[in-house]
Structure 1
Amino acid sequence: MNDLVSDSRGEGERLQKVLAAAGVASRRVCEQYIAEGRVAVNGEIVTEPGRRVDASVDQVAVDGVAIQLDVSKRYVMLNKPVGVVSSMADDRGKRDLREFTADYEERLFNVGRLDADTSGLLILTNDGDLAQVLAHPSFGVEKTYIATVQGVVYPAALKKLREGFDLEDGPIRADKARLVGEASQGRGTPDRSIVEITLHSGRNRIVRRMLDAVGHPVIELVRRQFGPLHLGTLASGRTRDLGKLELGQLLTLARTPRESTDIHPSADTQD
């Protein structure tokens, strides 16, 4: 996204007007922010309210948090249920994402994918630039999952997840892995565990493959976090618009250059 910038000092609209239209604050307060040196345009601190910007290409941040100037863009969080494929049109007749986007005026599409057996946080948007950056495996967005697995997970398995090992498509390791709890199908001895695992890999079904490799096949998998976004109490099958702070954090993440340490990224992956 960093190549979509321009020097628009002589064109566009006044900075304070664009900020106010984006919902940052009133125009007068935005002028104060600018005068205090809290606003940056394309990485450059601006202290003159008369600066003009082009909302379609210029990148603006307030207090280091990115602002979306294009008010036509929409960002929605979905708690995807199990059994729904991450597609806007499934040719096999399975449930797809259209049932969750039908009530929105904008043409929304998903950022990345979750496989049909995985539930949890999925972003829907009409911002193609953002989606392309965040979904590309080389960007390496950190994601956190809660997995219910077979068997009792001991510290040695968690250590192996964190230190890494080889899969058929190359080495892999979790950024974090911890035991959340244990459970049983009946009232007897625990026969399953709940594990929280965080990683930035975009490789296909990677969480399931990692846990299977340490002897604990996944029974249920939920993505709870994507970058700075948390699923929170959003019910399964429900959607909500991102708040301004969430959107700012997401845009800031997308505009921050970074390199993934994933060894073998794939351009078409699902967790």
Structure 2
Amino acid sequence: MSAPIRLQKIIAQAGIVSRRKAEELILDGRVQVNGQTVTELGTKADPERDHIRVDGKLLHGAQQQRYLMLNKPKGYVTTASDPEGRPTVMKFVERAGVRVFPVGRLDYQSEGLLLMTNDGELANALTRAAAKVEKIYLVKISGKPNEAGLDQLRSGIMIERGKPGLREGRVMTAPAKIRLMRDAENPWYEVTLIEGRNREIRKMFEEIGHHVEKIRRVGYGPLVLDIPPGEVRELSADEVEALRRAVRAKSASPSARAPKKRARGHSSVGPAPKRRAAKSTRPRAKADPSR
């Protein structure tokens, strides 16, 4: 017999929903243990002996937690299904043997690093706004932005909230790190964000008068993209732990607890601080902006 553990943890480990969502299910009276509806968050159960049902469906024990990195090609939507019939990223993880879901999104035309997992608790922690886990993109711009425009992006800029045409108002973006990677008629920039608003990078550059031609995500917290387009690989135990540390570090930082303030005056275009990637047994492939 295993030791009793909290119900919300059992449900999250079964890969159904995140722990926070599991708490909502319990409070809403949608969870039963041995035929009795449970609404107390402190309730514990034995996943090996107790019969636990969510919305009437019996849990069959915790799934093996899986953590995958996908190099998403453009032309795929980051959802489990699409009402318009467009291809989804689920095509690339069908052979994983267990159902996993995207953490955050890359839009239809964007490509690059996409984390997929059935660990609802970690996925929820990574996508919370307070997590502020850095995401790094290589971005090709039509035309050359001037420094005044780039400084606006570095400081935070007003963009349309949500999807185009919904009239949801405007919102200020968090300050971004931006540095030139290739100087050309249509240059490449490295853009580092700590949030993931809908089509955020495209909207940011549109606000300063430049169309975004390509977006490729090459980093997510401690993870570095190191596989070809359309390929999937398992994260190592060290990489998973590095993701957890990144969330804990951001959540515990004074800036995460303090009232939000917008930073101003980030005008440097110099190299960004070196970032230590999690250990990997695979050779690292350099992200080539010329592709």
Letter in 2 for 1:201: E
Letter in 1 for 2:208: V
1:85 is the counterpart of 2:77: yes
C-alpha deviation, 1:121, in angstroms: 0.7
RMSD across aligned C-alpha pairs, in angstroms? 2.5
Which stretches in structure 2 are left out of the alignment for 5+ residues?
5-46, 48-61, 161-169, 263-291
C-alpha deviation, 1:262, in angstroms: 9.1
- The residue number in structure 1 matching 2:171 is 170
1:226-245 equivalence runs, <5 A = 226-232=220-226, 234-245=227-238
User: What is the alpha-carbon distance in structure 2 between the residues aligned to residue 165 and residue 113 of structure 1?
Assistant: 21
Letter in 2 for 1:197: V
- The residue number in structure 2 matching 1:213 is 207
Question: Aligned with 2:145: secondary structure?
Answer: coil
- The residue number in structure 2 matching 1:59 is none
C-alpha deviation, 1:154, in angstroms: 3.1
- The residue number in structure 1 matching 2:125 is 133
- 2:103 aligned to which of 100, 111, 131: 111
TM-score normalized by structure 2?
A: 0.60
User: What is the alpha-carbon distance in structure 2 between the residues aligned to residue 86 and residue 72 of structure 1?
Assistant: 23
Question: Aligned with 1:103: secondary structure?
Answer: helix
Q: 1:262 to 1:96 in 2, by over 3 A?
A: farther
- 1:252 aligned to which of 239, 245, 257: 245
C-alpha deviation, 1:236, in angstroms: 0.6
Moved more, 138-147 or 222-231: 138-147
1:1-271 equivalence runs, <5 A = 72-168=64-160, 169-183=170-184, 190=185, 192-232=186-226, 234-256=227-249, 257-258=251-252, 259=256, 261=260
Question: Aligned with 2:97: secondary structure?
Answer: coil
Q: Deviations over 1:125-156 (max 9, x none)?
A: 11111111112334222111111011023333
Q: Deviations over 1:24-64 (max 9, x none)?
A: xxxxxxxxxxxxxxxxxxxxxxxxxxxxxxxx9xxxxxxxx
Q: 1:80 to 1:134 in 2, by over 3 A?
A: same
Letter in 1 for 2:236: G
- The residue number in structure 2 matching 1:269 is none
Q: Which has the higher contact order (CA 8 A, sep 6+)?
A: 1
Structure with greater proportional strand content: 1
User: What is the alpha-carbon distance in structure 1 between the residues aligned to residue 174 and residue 129 of structure 2?
Assistant: 15
User: What is the alpha-carbon distance in structure 1 between the residues aligned to residue 261 and residue 231 of structure 2?
Assistant: 32
C-alpha deviation, 1:254, in angstroms: 2.9
Question: Aligned with 2:183: secondary structure?
Answer: strand
Aligned residues between the structures: 190
Q: Deviations over 1:92-135 (max 9, x none)?
A: 21111221111011111111111101111111111111111112
C-alpha deviation, 1:11, in angstroms: 5.4
2:133–2:247: 8 Å Cα contact kept in structure 1? Answer: no
User: What is the alpha-carbon distance in structure 2 between the residues aligned to residue 167 and residue 93 of structure 1?
Assistant: 29
User: What is the alpha-carbon distance in structure 2 between the residues aligned to residue 173 and residue 255 of structure 1?
Assistant: 20
